[in-house]
Homo-oligomer: A and B are copies of this chain.
């Protein structure tokens, strides 16, 4: 049988007939008044495009004499699109005459004209503008439309309903298989062989007495997720006409309304049935549905029902509400929220309705929206913030010196850099909107101007807006919607934590970061970078003195001035984290990052250090590196200038003693960066242990700590077996590991990564999506070798990939203990982790009944 009438017991399947056919069967099972409907399977439709037409005579006979029918698409996923519905198939001169008698000429004309228009445009492929010009239901319009059709096609308008239906089915089947439609649906995730089903339904005309018409109704607000009756009803209309904005139509309100008639008042029985059907959908289909209906002479017909379109915040509230009402399980509520969708809730967003004037496109580096005045340097950002003004920091690229300015700004826009550039990483940590690598922009430093690709110029103080989720910058201000962390979100996240089975920590460097980490219920800090602690004005000079010192004692003296400040930093972090683990990465960047650039800065430094300018220049020049990424940093610095790590270890241990006095005992974790050989770990460990022993004696307090390594070099992964013998934990820094595995600097990759991904050289930007084949193999190798050597080894990932659902799956499969990511990605990571744990445990996904 090449078509199937949809009855409660017919064999209708989502995967064979599409979602619409399946949904209609469900409505029928729930005894809703659905007009008789026939489903054509994917195979049948594919057969039609290949010339194999079903027995349409037999099909039409099901609908009674002279039936009018509609055809609608029914793909497996409604998002994949499909041809538009065609109504009133079967209209011809004879039916027109008959309807003129039963419903009046105007109604008959309207139905016939509408069909001719659809047929001419969708089957005959004639000019829509010409046919849609016939807008009245006058006899002249109908005749003119028929004449135009005949002139353009050199044939009469088909009068045989079988022929009409056959042409329509063939046209829809072929359109689905065309290249444009295929590319469009593949872009939405459809597989290459996605099928199209069709449903043929008897028309409920909706063109009878004055209240006849059609409408849509939903019982929830798609923006907010709160329960509320919404919809439109238009008299003398069909299909989804009610949703069009035409002013001259004959509207009826759904609920009582001072502005005019309402179904609730005029057709109370129909109204109460609509409410009943809505409730049935919610409780039995377990979803908020929008119902499409027709009322024909006070008889209600349910034509279709689709899932209510909704914002992500509404989606959360609806899922929580369904679970709270016992309609779905909590597991299913959790599974209904795509992890990445949470991003919309966590950040402010531009009002989608507001107008925008885009002047630059870059890389979407940190989500959220910001509007503010342009500032070109960190100092200006701080000054602006001090006056209570919002500003957007615009830089060629950012460096550690800009950190305070970044804190002060509402958003960041850079001309250079990629998804893991300094600006991007810091912005994500701060939850600040950030657009990087907007390469069509240029900065005129002398004139203090930002020049757009189209020649427009922006001066300091001009207002711009950036959308970090889209990677776009707009001229002027744009209205904003605030983030949404309401009750629904909190309830959902509490359930999430019941289900997930892999830990989630936050990368947090500063007290604000740590507060964010706690706000998003991170289970500790997985990566605390300590570099920023050397940047503040008063610290920077001590740091520079240390760099310029010739002897270990002088270095130590300079570092001694930093010790109390570092200790205070750590104490504050430990107090905020209240006994949760805090993993501190020892000093990592190359020393030259702490030296000034430019002649003026060098001169000031010479003055401050009481040295000749030439000596300063020579020293600065001597520290310059060809490839700083691969140079003297991390543990290499820790071993060559051991006083730095000594000071940091002391600060950590003294802070541990201090913080443990007032709260839960703290167990700090100390992480050694950029390890490539086990001896590096042994040597640092020996010194750190010695410092711990000293502090224990000096303070008379005992404490424990864990020492581990950051695995960032391929060699550390390869040699994990011997390295793990000296480490309590290994945390994979997938940023650097990706850079080294590919031989690809994250900061320089921007120049060709776009093209590389577009051409399919790399399937994905490996800094965005963990490269499971290459970098992933090193991760697995490192994890296996490490655990084999040390069964108690804690394994984690702390790179930018840590918050990606795909990476979390990878880490969970590889037996990792936790992932660590920017605070603002923590909820996404928690939700993704819960999804993984629930995978397979819960089959039930809403409409799948």
Contacts and interface: CB of A to CB of B under 8 A. Distances in A.
Interface string A755-791: 1100111100000000101110110000000000000
Given A636-B756, A743-B676, A748 B627 contact: yes
A742 B739 CA distance: 12
A39 to B, nearest CB: 42
Contact of A740 (B639, B741, B747): B741
A626 B774 contact: no
Contacts of A745: 625-627, 629-631
A642 to B, nearest CB: 10
Interface residues of A, number: 52
A777 to B, nearest CB: 5
Contacts of A714: 714, 740-741, 743, 774, 778
A416 to B, nearest CB: 8
A602 interface: no
Contacts of A739: 630
Nearest to A416: B622
A437 B241 CA distance: 80
A630 B625 CA distance: 14
A680 B761 CA distance: 6
A677 interface: yes
A640 B752 contact: yes
Contacts of A103: none
Contacts of A771: 715
A751 interface: yes
A549 interface: no
Interface string A835-848: 00000000000000
A777 B722 CA distance: 14
B748 A631 contact: yes
A439 B621 CA distance: 12
A372 to B, nearest CB: 27
Most buried by B among A715, A747, A777: A715
A442 interface: yes
A706 interface: no
Given A626-B747, A742-B713, A743-B712, A761 B639 contact: yes
Interface in A621-675: 622, 625-632, 636, 639-640, 674
A76 interface: no
B712 A639 contact: no
Interface of A is mostly: helix
B756 A741 contact: no
B775 A715 contact: yes
A287 interface: no
A736 interface: yes
Nearest to A634: B743
A847 to B, nearest CB: 39
Contacts of A626: 628-629, 745, 747-748
Contacts of A627: 627-630, 745, 747-748
Nearest to A712: B743
B761 A630 contact: no
Interface in A420-462: 439, 442
A27 interface: no
A629 B630 contact: yes
A631 B751 CA distance: 9
Contacts of A631: 744-745, 748-749, 751
Contact of A718 (B622, B629, B778): B778
A683 interface: yes
A744 B630 contact: yes
A743 to B, nearest CB: 4
Nearest to A623: B751
A379 interface: no
B630 A683 contact: no
B736 A715 contact: no
B773 A718 contact: yes
A759 B639 contact: yes
B683 A773 contact: no
A674 B744 CA distance: 10
A719 interface: yes
A618 interface: yes
B756 A715 contact: no
Contacts of A752: 632, 636, 639-640
A679 interface: yes
Contacts of A773: 718-719
A751 B760 CA distance: 40
Contacts of A625: 745, 747-748
Contacts of A756: 636, 639-640
- The 8 A-B residue pairs whose C-beta atoms are closest, nearest first, are A630-B745, A631-B748, A627-B745, A713-B743, A715-B774, A714-B714, A626-B747, A627-B629
Given A630-B740, A674-B743, 5 more contacts: A626-B628, A676-B742, A718-B773, A718-B777, A740-B740
25 contacts: A439-B622, A442-B618, A625-B748, A626-B629, A628-B748, A630-B740, A630-B744, A630-B745, A632-B751, A639-B752, A639-B756, A639-B759, A640-B752, A640-B756, A674-B743, A676-B744, A677-B762, A679-B762, A713-B742, A713-B743, A714-B741, A715-B771, A715-B774, A715-B775, A740-B741
